[in-house]
Amino acid sequence: MNEERWLFEKGCFLGNWNDDIVPQTKTPVESVSKLQDKDLNTLLAELEDIKHHIEDVRERQWHIAKLIEYHNNGFAQG
């Protein structure tokens, strides 16, 4: 105990180093996420929406890559 006090006086611990730790009732993830009971059709519809969104992002990515290639090859210079 004496060594711990010496460490505390040297600034190696916070002032509340010996306070009891109060456990949290919920983890941060549990406090944010809420369970939602959904039926299979709702989940499948959401999955389709996600698939369409991914496809849209891929198409935009491809288009941007083509524009960059067009620009880098000097076709944009007039």
Predicted confidence (pLDDT) per residue in 3-60, tens digit:
666 666 666 655 565 566 666 566 655 655 666 778 899 999 999 999 999 999 999 9
Q: Is residue 14 part of a domain?
A: no
Q: Is residue 64 part of a domain?
A: yes
Cα 28 to Cα 33: distance, rounded to the nearest angstrom: 9
State the total domains in the chain: 1
Q: Is residue 15 part of a domain?
A: no
Residue 56 is part of which domain span? 38-78
